[in-house]
């Protein structure tokens, strides 16, 4: 990214960002780069002067995966890449920790990075609202009582059920709310939408993975208690009447900066214990390690 002139920051609302911010300001001063802050919904914290994402060459997300998601939504309309910086634990979307930030900026400025393109889940809600999620769309009951969900895939009825709602996830989001709800996890490189019913009341409605280009239509009846629509963990709409929600996977929706020494996705899931070996296997490893140590082999 030769000739970088301006960096935009999207910041976590509460975490200590002093180390990362000092590194950015020092690096920017040495390279003649301006630093601005990009406004994010619900974000009142201000660390540097505000700017426009479209006027930036790169957006830095300082925080965790939630902050990186916010940065992706800010950067995507302008076609800008996002570098996720972990100020806390390293997540699925953050490429580096604050300690490696100066080196990472050197790599990006030299063009020594790879674009990690992420698909988005695009949907229409109501008559005119169009929304896109990087992780997931959640249709969920807003109060007591159940909602009724009907799912069609490519014009064919899959299932109708009553329950708490539905999680529709992207391949990236399959390791987030989808996995936590008992849905399928897509391995790196796999594509398609994951559809996971939430607490279905009876019937047989297993989680489903669609083909990458499938057209999915969800009919949502919010019942007496109402329902809400969440995109990437943020409430976007409420509903008190039945809704038709067409959704599809949009290829190459957002761009993350990937660096050469970044850990593979599966390794990250194991490090964060989102994927964890069974207790029986771990107990066997402990026995073998203990036996090795007692025999003097370690």
DSSP codes of every residue in 74-138: HHGGGT--EEEEESSS--SS--EEGGGHHHHHHHHHTT--EEEEEEEEEEEETTTEEEEESSEEE
φ/ψ bin of 199: left (φ > 0), alpha (ψ from -120 to 50), beta (otherwise)? left
Alpha carbon distance 105, 122 (integer Å): 32
Check whether residue 132 and residue 11 sit in a common domain: no
For residue 68, the model assigns a pLDDT of 95
For residue 181, the model assigns a pLDDT of 95
Three-state secondary structure of 131-157: EEECCEEEEEECCCCCEEEEEEECCEE
pLDDT at 183 over 90: yes
Asked if residue 22 belongs to a domain, the reply is yes
Check whether residue 206 and residue 269 sit in a common domain: no
Asked if residue 289 belongs to a domain, the reply is no
* Residue 1 pLDDT grade (very low, low, confident, very high; cuts 50, 70, 90): low
> Percent of the chain scored above 70 by pLDDT?
98
Check whether residue 21 and residue 130 sit in a common domain: no
Asked if residue 290 belongs to a domain, the reply is no
Report the length, in residues, of the chain: 298
Asked if residue 286 belongs to a domain, the reply is no
Check whether residue 174 and residue 200 sit in a common domain: yes
Residues 6+ positions from 280 with CB-CB distance below 8 Å: none
Check whether residue 96 and residue 169 sit in a common domain: no
Question: pTM for the full model?
Answer: 0.89
Q: String of b and e for 24-41 (b: at least 16 CB within 10 Å)?
A: beebbeeeebbbbbbebe
For residue 42, the model assigns a pLDDT of 73
Alpha carbon distance 221, 250 (integer Å): 26
Alpha carbon distance 190, 192 (integer Å): 7
Check whether residue 129 and residue 67 sit in a common domain: no
Write out pLDDT tens, residues 50-93. Answer: 999 999 999 999 999 999 999 999 999 999 999 999 998 778 89
Asked if residue 291 belongs to a domain, the reply is no
Q: Is 44 a catalytic residue?
A: no
Check whether residue 229 and residue 244 sit in a common domain: yes
* Residue 43 pLDDT grade (very low, low, confident, very high; cuts 50, 70, 90): confident
For residue 298, the model assigns a pLDDT of 52
Alpha carbon distance 38, 71 (integer Å): 8
Check whether residue 219 and residue 246 sit in a common domain: yes
Q: Which of 213, 230, 251 is the last residue of a domain?
A: 251
Smallest CA-to-CA distance from 195 within 242, 158, 227 is with 158
Alpha carbon distance 290, 287 (integer Å): 5
Residues 6+ positions from 206 with CB-CB distance below 8 Å: none
User: Domain residues for 60?
Assistant: 6-113+259-281
Asked if residue 297 belongs to a domain, the reply is no
* Stretch 39-51: mean pLDDT: 86
Q: Please give the sequence-ordered ranges of beta strands (E in DSSP) within the chain, or none if there are none.
A: 6-11, 34-38, 50-51, 58-63, 82-86, 96-97, 114-125, 129-133, 136-141, 147-153, 156-163, 165-169, 194-198, 208-209, 216-221, 227-231, 234-239, 243-258
Q: What is the CATH number of the domain that holds 126?
A: 2.60.200.30
Q: Is the Cβ–Cβ distance between 222 and 239 less than 8 Å?
A: yes
* Stretch 170-176: mean pLDDT: 94
Check whether residue 171 and residue 244 sit in a common domain: yes
Write out pLDDT tens, residues 232-289. Answer: 988 888 888 889 999 999 999 999 999 987 888 899 899 889 899 999 999 999 999 9
Higher pLDDT, 181 or 2: 181
> How many domains, the chain?
2
Asked if residue 210 belongs to a domain, the reply is yes
Write out pLDDT tens, residues 202-234. Answer: 999 999 999 999 999 999 999 999 999 999 988
Lowest mean pLDDT among 7-11, 81-85, 292-296: 292-296
pLDDT at 2 over 70: no
Write out pLDDT tens, residues 111-153. Answer: 999 999 999 999 988 777 889 999 999 999 999 899 999 999 9
Asked if residue 293 belongs to a domain, the reply is no
Check whether residue 224 and residue 165 sit in a common domain: yes
* Stretch 25-43: mean pLDDT: 92
Q: What is the CATH number of the domain that holds 87?
A: 3.40.50.10330
Check whether residue 97 and residue 157 sit in a common domain: no
pLDDT at 294 over 90: no
**Set 16, 52, 57, 65: catalytic member:** 65
Check whether residue 109 and residue 124 sit in a common domain: no
């Amino acid at each position: 990214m030769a000739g970088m002139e301006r960096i935009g920051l999207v910041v976590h609302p509460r975490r200590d960002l002093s180390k990362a911010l000092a590194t950015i300001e020092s690096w920017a001063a040495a390279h003649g780069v301006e630093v601005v802050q990009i406004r994010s919904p619900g974000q009142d914290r201000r660390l540097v002067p505000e700017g426009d994402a479209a006027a930036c060459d790169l957006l830095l997300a300082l925080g965790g995966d939630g902050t990186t998601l916010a940065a992706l939504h800010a950067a995507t309309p302008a076609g800008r890449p996002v570098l996720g910086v972990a100020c806390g634990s390293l997540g699925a979307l953050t490429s580096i920790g604050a300690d490696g930030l100066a080196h990472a900026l050197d790599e990006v400025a030299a063009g020594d990075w790879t674009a990690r393109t992420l698909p988005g889940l695009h949907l229409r809600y109501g008559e005119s609202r169009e929304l896109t999620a990087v992780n997931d769309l959640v249709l969920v009951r807003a109060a007591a009582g159940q909602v009724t969900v009907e799912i069609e895939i490519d014009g064919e009825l899959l299932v109708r059920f009553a329950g708490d709602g539905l999680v529709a996830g992207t391949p990236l989001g399959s390791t987030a709310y989808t996995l936590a709800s008992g849905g399928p996890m897509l391995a790196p490189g796999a594509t398609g939408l994951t559809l996971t019913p939430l607490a279905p009341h009876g019937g047989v409605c297993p989680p489903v993975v669609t083909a990458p280009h499938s057209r999915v239509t969800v009919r949502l009846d919010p019942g007496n208690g109402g329902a809400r629509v969440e995109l990437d963990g943020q409430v976007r709409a409420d509903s008190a009447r039945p809704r038709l929600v067409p959704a599809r996977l949009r290829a190459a929706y957002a761009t993350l900066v990937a660096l050469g020494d970044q850990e593979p996705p599966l390794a990250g899931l194991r490090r964060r214990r989102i994927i964890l070996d069974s207790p029986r296997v771990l107990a066997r490893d402990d026995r073998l390690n203990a036996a090795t140590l007692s025999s003097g082999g370690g």
